[in-house]
Chains A and B, each alone.
Chain A
Amino acid sequence: MNQTAKSVPVPPVKAGQPARRTKYASDTQGGGPGGGRPKFARPEKPLETLWRLAYYMKGHYYMLILGLLFAGLSSAGSVAANYLLKPILNALVYGGTMAKALPMIAGMAVIFLCSGLFQYVSSNLMVHLSQNTVHNLRRHLFDKLEDMPIQFFDTHNHGDLMSSFTNDVDNISQALDQSLVQIFTGAISFIGTFAMMLYLSPLLTLTVVAMLAVMLLLVKVITSRSARYFRAQQAELADLNGYIEEMTEGQKVIKVFNHEAEARRDFETKNEALRQASTNAQTFAVILMPIMGNLSYVQYGITAVLGAILAINGRMDIGTIGAYLQYTRSFSQPITQISNQFNMLIAALAGAERVFKIMDQPAEQDDGDVRRVTYQELTEAERQQLQATGWTPEQHNGKTPAFWRVPARADQPAAIRPIYGDIRLSDVSFGYVPGQTVLKHISLYARPGQKIAFVGSTGAGKTTITNLLNRFYDIREGEVLFDGIDIRRIRKSDLRQLLGMVLQDVHLFRGSIADNIRYGKLDATDEEIHQAARIANADTFIRHLPEGYNTVLTADGSNLSQGQRQLVSIARAAVADPLILILDEATSSIDTRTERLIELGMNRLMEGRTVFAIAHRLSTVRHSDAILVLEHGEIIERGEHDSLMAEKGRYYELNVGKAELD
């Protein structure tokens, strides 16, 4: 019983747990960290999903076919080898010499040998198939992900996306190298065994059929109850995990309020509920094995008795009994095997469906036809055309000139325009969700080199404006002009390379400090990197680190202080040398005195660039060329600091502390 001869004990490699930020743990049905998925989800379109999955096996179909073929041959071999027991035993018992049995024993040995060989070949092929398939799948998924618009990332739970890369792909891989083969070989040995039994003794097989009916019924009853208990377990697990997450995050508050006893009491209630649910679920998960195994012994006993009686009456030989008994022993195994593997296959298909759902999201569109070109890339005709407009390199304030190459359109001829960084928003309205306008009729004008500041509460629409500038989102009404060109006509990659961003949440990558700065310009020399760090005022502290620029950042850069990490991100923006700079609360997580230290770096970075700065702290926006006060998506005040203070409006109130920014 409990025959697991065919299942290879591959150690279950758990997908590394991604840092999960479940805000509401109870929302996720799965519960277990890294899970967060209903375990019993059924695929909606299993066949279509299977078909799509097949696409990722491209180039490896022969592996699938040969893998299944060899697996089939291997299990057919086992069934056949069993049959040889009959003539061998008969030859020995009734023949009385080894000579007659010898060729059959040799035949059995050959079959066994081939069977083992085929099994290895099949496993090897299927492992390669599965690894290559999920390799393709992962790569395609990631490539698709990279091409998704920002909106996709803003509207999808990152934990769920992560789980697709880990759990879903894992399940697919397991289904490919285990479930497929096991279902296939299970079916072959089931049919083969049944056929052989029927062939050996139709009479005995009648009892087998009766027992089979009982077994199938039990499997059905047990698996359906088990599914119910599992759902209950998942619910309790989610509840407890949610509690643990929330309370442990607030553990220090618990200490401060002497709240430990209450926390323990609530915890223990949930813990006990989970214990009971798990005990039920797990009982049913393992109970199938002893039941099926012993039922097959019941069958074994019946066969032995009936066979013996038939033999005593001379209606059956010993060889038949021997072979038949061997078949009885292995008859129930495929049922358990198929029932288990089928569930895994279903889970894998459900996972594949989620993966495909992500892939099916529309990618970010980029139909801009206006390109950025350097002077060297201009044609002679274009250069002349440019000279004719009275252009001189001096207009670029010492920066390397670059140009917009605007192709001809129906109403306009082709043109070449110098890139200055002149931004205009005229009557822009925008909402993330139709019907909810976040920005209303915004118009503003930033001349090259000007510094524009946005002030306003959270949700007033400050960040939204920057989202529109780099086309993370496209405007619905009005227009944004870059050097007089509608930004929707500009190729996104060209546009974004001109815009540098420094955000409040500093995101650094795994790797050294130098690697992180180089992210802004992949081919930057070490000298350029040091130069950028000097601009950001980061060079000194970096050199003081034991490993200097080669200091490797720990996960999300936690071995640097907040301020230092921000400086690295400023250096990263500096090395990219963008024409336009967007600072979204870039200094709000730094205290005012430290801010003064990096102010120098910031000022140097801003020099000669058009800057859009969003600031919570008013002291940082004072020197802007224009300050725009946003409220509920509208610009309610605009002007320089002094004039706004004189107006004694909202900006004034904020400054003197009469109003709250939040």
Chain B
Amino acid sequence: MSESAVAAAPLHQPASAPDKKSLLRRLLHFVPPYTKYAILSPILMIIEVMTDVYIPLLMRDIINVGIAQKDVSLVVTLGLKMLLSAVIGLFAGATSSRMGATAGFGFGANLRKAMYAKVQTFSFANLDRFSVPSLITRLTNDCNNLSQSGMMAVRMGFRAPFMLIFAFVMAFSVNRELAAILGLAIPVMGVLVFLIMKSAGPRFSQFQRRIDDLNAIVQENLTAIRIVKSFVRQPFEKQRFKKANDELRQAGLYAITLVIWMGPIMTLVMSVCMIAIIWFGGVGITTGRMQAGDIMSFLTYVTQILISLMMLSMLFLQFTRAKASADRVLEVIEADVDLTSPPDGLKTMKDGEVVFEHVSFRYPGNPGDSLSDINLRIQSGSTVGVIGSTGSAKTSLVQLIPRLYDVSAGAVKIGGVDVRKYDLRFLRDEVSVVLQKNTLFSGTLRENMQWGNPEASDQEIIRVLKLAQAWEFIKDLDGGLDAPVEQGGSNFSGGQRQRLCIARSLLKNPKVLILDDSTSAVDMATDAKLRYAFTHELPDLTIIIIAQRIASIADADEVIVLDDGRIDGVGRPEELLRSSQIYREVYESQQKGVIGE
């Protein structure tokens, strides 16, 4: 293995640059075109907060000045100001709600869109690394969570701190001495809330783990109920559940009984403040330094400040969860795609000759090579079988041809050119793979077929359906090509699905066709007809067939026997019967039930 070959392999880049920027700045990128709303919503919210803290001040003047001087017109003027403030606050607050929702859910939709677009550029290796279920959760739950948090950020995220500051400033302007009480209470309350939240964190994680444990038991019992029942293990399972359930209750109580201190503590701090304000305010009134209105406005500010603190603690929780979601979403969006189309990639292919030169391959993150030092030459227009046990890397081998994965070392060439030199889209149109885990999608048959070629006419579709031996069961269907396909193609049998998938791949009119165990559910007679049609009607097509059934590759030009990532033998089937022990074993294991004559 040469040094340069190793260097050419796409190494997994460690995530670098984006991490330097703060999470928030990376997220801000997804706010446009909702920036307007994201800015206006907090501004309106701050206006509402201003009216909130202004109203108690007006009330103070009504009492201190209006009543004291028996000035009815002043009272009415102040009253109208209050009304006006409340109305402004109402409209500002309501509009802020609307704009906050627009910004938050617009932001969430942007994230989801960017993430989905990114997933579309993902290579197979990227997909393997993230795994499909995890991608689904990130696209659904995490994005929803971030939408919600985005809305909270532009509304509550501004309301809570501004309310805290403004209310304190107002209180300070009303009376400095009394404000000192608040100045003392705010840090005390802040520290208490912080301490509770801090120790609540681990307790809630523990609670969550217990929930997960319990759910895992239920899930297992649902999927494996036949095992549970056939071993008569219901009492055992009930006991197991009881234990998990007891632990869950304990963890729940441990976590929740801590946070319920928040309410009483807040009531207590608020009470102490109020009593102190009434006390010192009382002293102030009796000595003529203060008036009743001062005390009353202060009582309102106390409430506002403490509510802000509670709100901040809730925001803290929400944003902690949101941060986890944001990390998961950004991890996808900022992932390095490890396989891309070369600039100015080749868009012509001489023929369908496939050559492997000293090819080694390992899956990213795996300790060992899946394929090592593979050398092969598959002639254009020939039919080649690949056989070997589960785990012998048959699928890995063929996936290197259309660059579903890139080689770790060596090179795969088609028509004499390294596959990495072709335009990726072009390459995958020329090399058509029928994946082992193939899927049909909900829609009509025609829609499914047109995945192979969006412009394909009905005649062309019918032609490939005939080639794939699928037309016989399609032609009698209600609606023909308009017949519905259910999700996963579940309204067709396994063998029918496989033949439809083959037809879909043929519509690309490729130079190389790869069938990865694609006829396992097709009966042998039809399988044979299919192969006959291929060799006779598509003579220039290079066909590579991975099969479990020896019969499926018995008439191939050549058979490649793979064993544990290495080539055990290549040759005509009858030669291999003599030269390859593995081939012989597979052959014999399948001859037992069959009478040859």
Question: How far is A14 from B278 in the complex, measured between Cα atoms in Å?
Answer: 43
CB distance from B397 to the nearest CB of A (A): 16
- Taking residues whose C-beta sits less than 8 angstroms from the other chain, chain A's interface range is 35 or more
Q: Using Cβ atoms and an 8 Å threshold, which residues of chain B touch A287?
A: 94, 97-98
Q: Is A117 in the interface zone, CB < 8 Å from B? A: yes
Asked if residues A251 and B97 are in contact (CB atoms below 8 Å), the reply is no
Asked whether any CB of chain B lies closer than 8 Å to the CB of A426, the reply is no
Task: Determine which of B122, B132, B230 lies in contact with A470 in the assembled complex, contact meaning CB atoms within 8 Å.
Answer: B230
* A116 x B79 contact (CB < 8 A): no
Q: Check: B565 CB closer than 8 A to any chain A CB.
A: no
Q: Does B437 contact A (CB under 8 A)?
A: yes
| Number of cross-chain contacts by CB at 8 Å | 484
- Pick from B63, B82, B425: contact of A321, CB below 8 A: B63
- With both beta carbons as reference points, the residue of chain B lying nearest to A596 in the complex is identified as B589
The reply to whether the CB of A228 lies closer than 8 angstroms to some CB of chain B is no
Q: How far apart are the CA atoms of A457 and B107 in the complex, in Å?
A: 52
For residues 65 through 108 of chain B, which have their beta carbon under 8 Å from a beta carbon of chain A?
66-67, 70-72, 75-76, 78-79, 82-83, 85-87, 89-90, 92-94, 96-98, 100-102, 104-106, 108
In the bound complex, how far is the Cα of B595 from the Cα of A641, in angstroms? 11
By beta carbon, the residue of chain B nearest A561 is B391
Asked if A656 is at the interface (CB within 8 A of a chain B CB), the reply is yes
**Are A267 and B137 in touch, CB under 8 angstroms?**
no
Q: Is A302 an interface residue (CB 8 A)?
A: yes
A276 to chain B, nearest CB (A): 9
**Interface stretch (choices A187-195, A438-446, A494-502):** A494-502
Q: Is A305 an interface residue (CB 8 A)?
A: yes
State the CA gap A622–B588 with chains docked (Å): 14
B222 at the interface (CB under 8 A from A): yes
Give CA–CA (A249, B89) in the complex, Å.
Answer: 49
A147 CA to B270 CA in the complex, in Å?
A: 53
Does the CB pair A329–B113 fall under 8 Å?
Answer: no
| Cβ of A143 under 8 Å from chain B | yes
- On whether the beta carbons of A92 and B271 are closer than 8 Å, the reply is no
Tell me whether A309 and B72 are in contact in the complex, defined as CB-CB below 8 angstroms, given that A98-B282, A260-B120 are known contacts.
yes
| B225 (CB) vs chain A CBs: closest residue | A153
Say if the beta carbon of B1 comes within 8 Å of chain A.
no
- Interface centre among B133, B283, B508, B585, by most chain A C-beta atoms within 10 angstroms, is B133
Docked-complex contact B551 and A657, CB < 8 angstroms = yes
Query: Are A19 and B219 in contact (CB-based, < 8 A)?
Result: yes
Stretch binding the partner chain, chosen from B232-240, B353-361, B373-381: B232-240
Tell me the nearest residue of chain B to A97, going by C-beta: B286
Binds B, one of A293-301, A346-354, A394-402: A293-301
Q: Check if B544 is an interface residue, CB within 8 A of chain A.
A: no
B-chain residues with CB within 8 Å of residue A563 when the two chains form the complex: 390
Q: Which of B2-10, B178-186, B299-307, B460-468 contacts A (4 or more CB under 8 A)?
A: B299-307
**Does the CB pair A656–B231 fall under 8 Å?**
no
Q: Are A659 and B523 in contact (CB under 8 A)?
A: yes
Q: Are B109 and A272 in contact (CB under 8 A)?
A: yes
Shortest beta-carbon distance, B204 to chain A, in Å?
Answer: 5
**Which residues on the A side are within 8 Å of B590 (C-beta)?**
592, 619
Cross-chain contact A622 with B593 (CB below 8 angstroms): yes
Bound Cα distance from A162 to B147, whole angstroms: 26
Is B260 within 8 A of A105, CB to CB? no
CB of A279 within 8 A of CB of B101, answer yes
**Chain B residues, Cβ within 8 Å of A655:** 593-595
Tell me, in angstroms, the Cα distance from A14 to B451 when the chains sit together: 39
Q: Which residues of B contact A641 (CB under 8 A)?
A: 593
The reply to whether A501 and B439 contact each other, CB–CB distance below 8 Å, is no
A58, chain B: closest CB distance, angstroms: 15
CB neighbors of A among B482-496 (8 A): 486-488, 490, 493-495
Interface size of B by CB at 8 A reads 185
The answer to whether B220 and A509 touch across the interface, beta carbons within 8 angstroms, is yes
Known: A592-B548, A622-B592, A656-B594. A96 touches B286 (CB 8 A): yes
- B241 part of interface (Cβ distance < 8 Å): yes
B198 to chain A, nearest CB (A): 13
Shortest Cβ distance from residue A192 to the other chain B in the assembled complex, whole angstroms: 16
For residue A290, CB closer than 8 A to chain B, the reply is: yes
Task: Determine whether the beta carbon of A256 is less than 8 Å from that of B62.
Answer: no
0/1 string, A313-336, CB within 8 A of B gives 1: 000001001100110010000000
B256 at interface by CB-CB < 8 Å: yes
17 A–B pairs (Cβ distance < 8 Å), ordered by A: A9-B313, A23-B488, A24-B486, A24-B487, A116-B267, A131-B249, A166-B211, A247-B441, A248-B119, A257-B504, A290-B92, A295-B86, A312-B72, A470-B229, A501-B227, A522-B233, A656-B595
Bitwise, A387-410 to B at CB < 8 A (1) or not (0) is: 000000000000000000000000
Interface residues of B in 517-548 (CB under 8 A from A): 521-528, 548
Q: A290–B93 contact, CB under 8 A?
A: yes
Is residue A291 contacting chain B, with contact meaning CB distance below 8 A?
Answer: yes
- A257 CB, nearest partner CB in chain B, Å: 5
Q: Does A207 contact B (CB under 8 A)?
A: no
Contact B67 A5, beta carbon cutoff 8 Å: no
Contact A147 B234 (CB under 8 A): yes
A4 within 8 A of B: yes
A586 at the interface (CB under 8 A from B): no
Beyond the given A17-B137, A258-B429, could you list 20 further A-B residue pairs with CB under 8 A, ordered by the A residue number? A10-B260, A89-B296, A108-B278, A120-B260, A246-B441, A252-B124, A290-B89, A291-B94, A304-B82, A305-B62, A308-B63, A312-B67, A318-B67, A321-B63, A470-B229, A470-B230, A503-B226, A592-B590, A593-B585, A660-B522
Contact of A124 among B71, B221, B257, B595 (CB under 8 A): B257
Q: Shortest CB–CB separation between residue A658 and chain B, in angstroms?
A: 5
Given contacts A286-B151, A300-B59, contact A131 B87 (CB under 8 A): no
Asked if B264 contacts A119 (CB within 8 A), the reply is: yes
B residues within 8 A CB of A279?
101-102, 105-106
Is A215 close to B, CB under 8 A?
no
Q: Closest chain B residue to A19 by CB distance?
A: B219
Q: Which residues of A contact B133 (CB under 8 A)?
A: 19
Segment among A41-49, A134-142, A524-532 that sits at the interface with chain B: A134-142
Q: Considering only CB atoms, which chain A residue lies closest to B438 in the complex?
A: A253
> B122-139: contact bitstring with A at CB < 8 Å (1 yes, 0 no)?
111001000011011101
Q: Which residue of B lies closest to A2 (CB)?
A: B307
- Check if B109 sits within 8 Å of A127, measured CB to CB: no
Residue in B137, B504, B589 whose CB lies within 8 Å of A592: B589
Residues of chain A within 8 A (CB-CB) of B524 are 656-658
Task: Give B290's nearest chain A residue, CB to CB.
Answer: A92
Question: In the complex, what's the smallest C-beta–C-beta distance from B386 to chain A, in angstroms?
Answer: 13
Instruction: Identify the closest chain B residue to A597 (Cβ).
Output: B389
- Please measure, in the bound complex, the distance between the C-alpha atom of A253 and the C-alpha atom of B439, giving whole angstroms: 7
Residue interface bits B299-324, CB-to-A below 8 A is 1, else 0: 11001001100110110010001000
Given A5-B307, A92-B282, A92-B292, A127 contacting B586 (CB threshold 8 A): no
Inter-chain contact B264/A116, CB cutoff 8 Å:
yes
Instruction: Tell me the smallest distance from the CB of B97 to a CB of chain A, in Å.
Output: 4
- Tell me which residues across on chain A come within 8 A of B313, comparing CB atoms: 9
* CB-CB nearest in chain A for B496: A662
Q: Which among B208, B390, B521, B595 has the greatest number of chain A C-beta atoms within 10 A?
A: B390
Contact present for B124 and A255 (CB under 8 Å): yes
Q: Which residues of A contact B432 (CB under 8 A)?
A: 256
| Selected contact of B495 from candidates A246, A271, A308, A662, CB within 8 Å | A662
Given A135-B245, A297-B82, A660-B259 contact (CB < 8 Å): no
Confirm or deny: B575 has a beta carbon within 8 angstroms of a beta carbon on chain A. Answer: no
Known A32-B140, A105-B275, A282-B105; contact A290-B90, beta-carbon cutoff 8 A: yes
**Complex contact B222–A161 (CB within 8 A):** yes
* Given A5-B267, A146-B221, A278-B105, A23:B487 Cβ within 8 A: yes
In the complex, whether B171 has a CB less than 8 A from a CB of chain A is no
Which one of A11, A123, A302, A311 lies within 8 Å of B200 (CB-CB)? Answer: A11
The distance in angstroms between the C-alpha atoms of A546 and B391, with both chains bound, is: 20
A-B CB proximity, top 9 nearest: A290-B93, A657-B524, A660-B523, A305-B79, A112-B271, A301-B82, A507-B224, A294-B90, A275-B109
Residue of B nearest to A10 (CB): B259
Rounded to whole angstroms, the CA-CA distance of A255 and B402 in the bound complex is: 10
Query: For the complex, is A3 an interface residue (Cβ under 8 Å from B)?
Result: yes
